[in-house]
């Protein structure tokens, strides 16, 4: 998927120094690393929102590849909910369809289904300021899912939420992934979150950003809360922590 991708900013900062990464369809891959290691930059390149300075990023989605991939095959969730405050929850989730220029009964049904899937049925008419932080993030996830994307990119989506909300949204995201099986690229700097959620973890190191370890997570599926207290989970977290520690000591923060 990604071949020797490099990214150098105009300022001369080398954000990514040769990233090779192949992601299989239906995989849940976490990009784990300290801040400043180019995780978000990598995500933006995959989304096509940023051009790599070197190397190539090839996507195969919806039977198409490269620039031919139609809009709506990629969903993106930011760290902030990134909602339009002047629009209702329904209008926010409807946005991808409105941009595509078709909002008919079928699309409205999909909006309702996406909101139902994230547990926000009944909040269609609410405005973002009336919702809690967790609910806003759910709206954001519903908007990313509404087009039925094959690739879902999440950029530290739960970093700003409190622990309780975060755990609940972790479970919801897993449930949605098991239901629709999109390929997920999940950027995080939480070891515990990455182990709990993903099938594979790519650990990144900074300056320049690169992948230093690639670990499969072989915990039982489907994951449930009990996993969090299982010895195998603790063991995996320890391994990932050690790998992350090695990556960080290599290039002191």
Partner 1 sequence: MMTGNAGQRAARLLAPLAIGIVFLAAWEAVVRVEGIPSYILPAPSAVAQSLWVDGPSLFGSLLVTLRITLAALAAAAFFGGAIALLFSRSRILELSLFPYAVILQVTPIVAIAPLIIIWVREPFLALLVCAWIVAFFPIVSNTTVGLNSADRNLLMLFRLYGASRGQTLIYLRLPTALPYFLAGLRISGGLALIGAVVAEFVAGTGGAETGLAFRILEAGYRLAIPRMFAALFMLSLTGIVIYLVLDLLSRLLLRRWHESALNEEEE
* Interface with partner 1 in residues 222-241 (CB under 8 A): none
Q: Which residue, 80 or 214, has its beta carbon nearer to partner 1?
A: 80
In DSSP notation, the chain reads -EEEEEEE-TTS-EEEEEEEE---TT-EEEEE--TTSSHHHHHHHHHTSS--SEEEE--EETTEEGGGPPTTSEEEE-SS----TTS-HHHHHHHHHHHHT---HHHHHHHHHHHHHTT-TT-TT--GGGS-HHHHHHHHHHHHHTT--SEEEEESTTTTS-HHHHHHHHHHHHHHHHHH--EEEEEES-HHHHHHH-SEEEEEETTTBEEEEEEE----SS--GGGGGSHHHHHHHHHHHHHHHHHHHHS--
Say which residue the tokens 């909006």 belong to: 111
Q: Please select the residue that binds partner 1; options are 17, 33, 38, 96, rule is CB under 8 A.
A: 96
Which among 14-22, 55-63, 97-105, 116-124 is the span making contact with partner 1, rule CB under 8 A? 97-105
Q: How far is the CB of 130 from partner 1 (least distance, A)?
A: 7
Q: Does 246 bind partner 1 (CB under 8 A)?
A: no
Q: How far is the CB of 132 from partner 1 (least distance, A)?
A: 12
Q: Please select the residue that binds partner 1; options are 13, 100, 234, 242, rule is CB under 8 A.
A: 100
Q: Please select the residue that binds partner 1; options are 12, 85, 222, 231, rule is CB under 8 A.
A: 85
Q: Which residue, 17 or 52, has its beta carbon nearer to partner 1?
A: 52
How far CA 6 is from CA of 41, 202, 212, in Å, comes to: 10, 17, 15
Q: Does 49 bind partner 1 (CB under 8 A)?
A: yes
Q: Please select the residue that binds partner 1; options are 34, 48, 62, 119, rule is CB under 8 A.
A: 48
Q: Which residue, 76 or 123, has its beta carbon nearer to partner 1?
A: 76
Q: Does 102 bind partner 1 (CB under 8 A)?
A: no
Q: Please select the residue that binds partner 1; options are 24, 68, 99, 242, rule is CB under 8 A.
A: 99
Q: Rounded to whole angstroms, how far apart are CA atoms 8 and 10?
A: 7
Q: Please select the residue that binds partner 1; options are 56, 130, 132, 218, rule is CB under 8 A.
A: 130
Residues that bind partner 1 (CB under 8 A): 44, 47-49, 70-72, 74, 76, 78, 80, 82, 84-87, 95-96, 98-100, 127-130
């Amino acid at each position: 998927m990604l071949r020797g991708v490099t990214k150098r900013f105009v300022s001369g900062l080398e954000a990514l120094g040769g990233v090779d990464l192949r992601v299989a369809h239906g995989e849940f891959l976490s990009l784990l690393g300290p801040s400043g290691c180019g995780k978000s930059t990598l995500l933006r390149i995959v989304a096509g929102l940023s051009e790599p300075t070197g190397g190539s990023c090839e996507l195969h989605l919806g039977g198409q590849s490269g620039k031919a991939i139609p809009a709506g095959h990629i969903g993106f969730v930011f760290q902030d909910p990134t909602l339009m405050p002047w629009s209702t929850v329904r209008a926010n989730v409807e946005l991808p369809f409105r941009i595509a220029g078709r909002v008919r009964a079928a699309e409205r049904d999909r909006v309702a289904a996406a909101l139902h899937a994230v547990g926000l049925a009944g909040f269609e008419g609410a405005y973002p300021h009336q919702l809690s932080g967790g609910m806003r993030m759910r709206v954001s996830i519903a908007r990313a899912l509404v087009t039925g994307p094959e690739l879902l990119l999440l950029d530290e989506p739960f970093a700003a939420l409190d622990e309780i909300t975060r755990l609940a949204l972790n479970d919801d995201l897993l449930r949605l992934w098991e239901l629709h099986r999109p390929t997920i690229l999940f950027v995080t700097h939480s070891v515990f979150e990455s182990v709990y959620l993903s099938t594979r973890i790519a650990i990144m190191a900074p300056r320049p950003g690169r992948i230093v370890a690639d670990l499969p997570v072989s915990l039982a599926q489907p994951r449930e809360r009990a996993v969090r207290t299982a010895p195998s989970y603790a063991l995996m977290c320890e391994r990932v922590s050690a790998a992350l520690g090695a990556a960080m000591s290599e290039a002191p923060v």
